[in-house]
Every structure is written in structure tokens, then in C-alpha cells.
Chain A
Amino acid sequence: GALVPRIVLAGAASKGLPELPAAVLEALPGKQALIKRSYRPPNFETPVTYFNTQFTPNDAFFVRYHLANIPEVNVQDWKLRIGGESVEKPLEFTLEQLKSRFEAVEIAAVCQCAGNRRGMVRPQVPGIQWGHGAMGNARWKGVRLKDVLNRAGLKKGVLEVVFNAADSGMVAQTPDFAKSLPLAKALDENTLIAFEMNGEPLPHWNGFPARLVVPGWTATYWVKHLTSIDAIAKPFEGYWVKTAYRLPKEAFPMQERFLSQENQMNTPITEMMVNSLITNIESGQRFRLSQSIDLKGIAWDGGYGIQQVEVSIDEGKSWREAVIGNDHGRFSWRQWHFRFKPHKKGSYRLMVKATNRSGVTQPLQLIQNPAGYHHNLVQTIDLQVI
């Protein structure tokens, strides 16, 4: 067992608000202490306090794996293979070749687990019981997937592009973690094979030496420790696309769909839903009447861009606009702040909601789905003014 006592944080204690799952803080090698959800495979979330900066530090960035066989990739031995029935000439690249033969690009983008906040879904659903921190915002540098695919040459009739990785299950029968993208998303100029994060090589736990970056789409597509990319002419059959990561059809206002994987019942999750979070104050905090209260937070969506952030200090009866910070591109989250001076003592129920440039706003009621994806309920916190 651990030599240093593990630390247990209680969830939000306010009456009437959904409780955050209790949390234990521990550090993976090379990482700060993060909120431990599972040891093996490692699932660790970022404490909200780190979201007070525009970019999330690499050593505090969340870690999510499905499968526990995670090799440390030796960059000398690593090659990225491009192939599949629908490429003209299969190719292989070392990391150096990838870096030197293609144009480098950098994009600021939110990487958010599809199941972020699952631990706050009511009624509860099984799976990793995440709080707010299965996400982060970083500057990702790499090469365009499109450029690499075009170098190999795509034949007519490509339907999907499949991504496989160095990690795998503990037994051969466990479905390997591989994902596919529809061709259009694979050819999107923003989709990258990234090898740097915030100006440094990717940390091991975030996909060293190269990972896919699919700005706007949930992190399940951001395959880590990439080893192969295959262009294929029929729908990919892998479990993590065909069965897992599914949403009821038409339940969510999604614009980009993965049509070749849709069936009668459900559809693959794709883009992130518009969302926001208060980052500097938590439920239960107390303030003096003479103090003015500075609320800070972030807002993001699936890449349409944040239009406005509104705050209510009277449980949603009236809303006022927050001041939105610098724009780091439509895939990055946007910081915002809102200052107010309470004029009487008592309890205040604060709410925050973001609206994107497509006019989509956060819901007041959760959109239920079996796996508890896309929790983007308007956040509510209780403050006491004394």
C-alpha cells in the first residue's frame, strides 16, 4: 500500500445539488497528484483548480485508458504505418521523418472525455465516475493527417480511416482499442497527428510519441500511442466504434455525424456539446456582505465558437452577461469572468450557461443516455453571504 496516506476529498456538501464523487488524490509517475478514479488502467482526472489558466499544464492533464497493457514506447523503435485497402502506396514514418517531411501546425483545442461528469449523472450509470476534470485545454503541435494520407494516396471509395495504437488488453479476447473517423473528418485540416503538447513532447500518459488530435470531437477519437492508420472502404467493425461510445439517435443537437456507423437505434458520439464551468469558487463557500465576488470560469463547445456566457445569481430568474476573455481559436476554451456585489445576506444560488455561435445553449435538464455521455447541464453552485 501507499506509504503516504491517501487523501480523501468530500464532494460538494450543499443540499439539493448533485454530489461530486468522493476523490482520492494520487500521482502517476511524471504527473502531479490528480484525482484517482482507477489505478489500473490509470484513470485520473484534473482537479478544477488547474482550469484557472488558459492552458492545462501537461503534468496535470487528465489520463484516460480503457485497457491496462500500456507499453512505454521507445522512440527509436517506433514507426507509424500508413496502409489499408484504400491507399495507393503503404508508407512508414519514423518520428523524425514525420516532423521533417510535413508542414508543422499548432492548434489550441479542448480534449474532453465523452464521459466527463458521468459521476454527476442522475440516475447514476456505470462506468468511470468522473467529476469535472476529465478534460483539458492545450496547444497541440503536429502534422495534418490529411497531408500524411495524401502522401500515401487515397483510392476512390474510402469510407473511414482507422487508428490503432500500442496499448492493448491484458488478454487477447478483450477488444483492442482502435477507432475510426469518417473520411471527411480525417481530411479536415484541423485533424492532426500531434507529437507536442504545450511546447513539449507528449507525456507518456497522454500518448507519447504521437496521438491523434480531433479538434471539436470528444477525446475517444484522440487515439494515443498511434502505431497505424488504415484507409478502408467499408464501416470499421471494432467494438469501441461499433458498440461503445453510442448515443440514442437525435437525442443531442449534433451537427457533425458519423453516418457510415449509424444504425436504427444509435449513432456514434462525435462533437462536444456547448458547456461551461466555474473554476475559482465552489459550492458552499462563504463571503462577507462587504466583499464583491469575482466569478471566473471557462466555456467551450464542439468548435463552433462561444457566443456568450451568462450568469444568474437568483437561481435562473434573471441572467447577465459575463465578460469573455481572449480568443485562442474556435476549438480552445474561452475564459470568462463575472463580478457582482451581493446587496443582502443569505444564500445565493448561482448558475452559468454558455451559448455557441450556432445558437445552441446548455440545457437545464440532463439529456439521458445509457452511458452517461455529454453531461453539459447548466452548473449550479450555492454561496453564503454573511
Chain B
Amino acid sequence: MKTGFLFVNILLMASAALADESESGIQLKEGQGKALVAANCTMCHSLDYIQMNGGLLDKSGWQKTVDKMIKVMGAPIKPEDVDPIVAYLAKNYGK
């Protein structure tokens, strides 16, 4: 029999990691543009926002997201950096 929720309980007790120390453990996929993404997308939130939305946006979806970060959220991203950022996201975290 699968132990289901009991199993989860044991895991809960075993994990004592503090969340604020753990952000640096996030590893984005290797690829051209990775450093640019890391430099431009960590000012306001951790990079798990990208991983979490991986596989559910196509290139135009990522373009829209990056545009929203700039226009709505106020991300200070240089115009010439937008294309390589979107290309990295579409290639490595695209649908």
C-alpha cells in the first residue's frame, strides 16, 4: 500500500532548510543568454518564477511576459537586451 500523506508527514519533519538561504541554489538551464537573464530578472524576484512557468509559454508568451515586466512592473532592462533574453527563455523554458 502506498503510504500517501503519512509519507509526506515524515518528509515535513526531515526538512529543516531555511528558505532564504536556498534561493542561490536555483540553477537555470545552461544556454546563451543565461547570464543576461540572471542579471535582469533577479532584482524583484527569485528565478524560480521562470522555472515555475517553464513549458507553458511559447516565444510570444515569453515576449509578452518580458514586456509586462518592463512596462507594468518597471523592470529596467536595456532595449538591446530584450531579444536575447526572450530567445533564451523561449529556447530553454518554452512550450
Contact = CB atoms under 8 A, between A and B. Distances in A.
B74 A27 contact: no
Contact of A126 (B1, B2, B65, B73): B65
A340 interface: no
A49 B9 contact: yes
Top 6 A-B residue pairs of the complex, sorted by shortest distance between their CB atoms: A173-B74, A1-B25, A2-B17, A124-B56, A39-B23, A33-B15
Given A126-B56, A126-B65, A174 B4 contact: no
Contact of B18 (A29, A171, A173, A285): A29
Q: Tell me the interface secondary structure of chain A in the complex.
A: loop
Contacts of B46: 38-40
Contacts of B83: none
Contact of B43 (A26, A42, A48, A171): A171
B45 interface: yes
Nearest to B5: A49
A384 B63 CA distance: 45
Interface in A273-312: 280-282, 284-288
Interface of B: 1-2, 4-5, 8-9, 11-26, 43-46, 48-49, 52-53, 55-57, 61, 65, 72-76
Nearest to B11: A7
Contacts of B72: 175, 239, 243
Given A28-B20, A47-B12, 13 more contacts: A1-B21, A2-B22, A27-B15, A27-B19, A28-B19, A32-B12, A33-B13, A126-B61, A170-B43, A174-B73, A285-B1, A285-B2, A285-B4
Contacts of A44: 19
Nearest to A29: B18
Nearest to A3: B17
A174 to B, nearest CB: 5
A52 B3 CA distance: 16
Given A6-B15, A7-B11, A171-B76, A281 B44 contact: no
A174 B12 contact: no
Interface in A80-96: none
Contacts of B12: 25, 32-33, 47, 49
Interface of A: 1-4, 6-7, 9, 21, 25-29, 32-33, 36-42, 44, 47-49, 52, 67-68, 124-129, 169-175, 239, 243, 280-282, 284-288
10 contacts: A2-B17, A4-B14, A36-B19, A38-B48, A126-B56, A170-B43, A172-B74, A239-B72, A282-B4, A284-B2
Given A7-B14, A27-B18, A173 B25 contact: no
Given A129-B53, A170-B43, A174-B74, A26 B5 contact: no
B17 A6 contact: yes
A281 B8 CA distance: 12
Nearest to B14: A7
Contact of B11 (A9, A37, A67, A174): A9
Contacts of B8: 9, 47-49
A26 B1 contact: no
Contact of A27 (B1, B5, B16, B56): B16
Contacts of B14: 4, 7
A27 B1 CA distance: 29
A243 B18 CA distance: 34
Contacts of A125: 56
A127 B61 CA distance: 12
A48 B74 contact: no
Given A128-B52, A173-B73, A48 B5 contact: yes
B44 A171 contact: yes
Contacts of A169: 44, 73-74
B44 A170 contact: yes
Contacts of B13: 33
A281 B74 CA distance: 44
Contact of B1 (A1, A2, A124, A287): A287
A3 B24 CA distance: 12
A296 to B, nearest CB: 11
A44 B19 CA distance: 10
Given A49-B5, A169-B73, A171-B43, A26 B56 contact: no
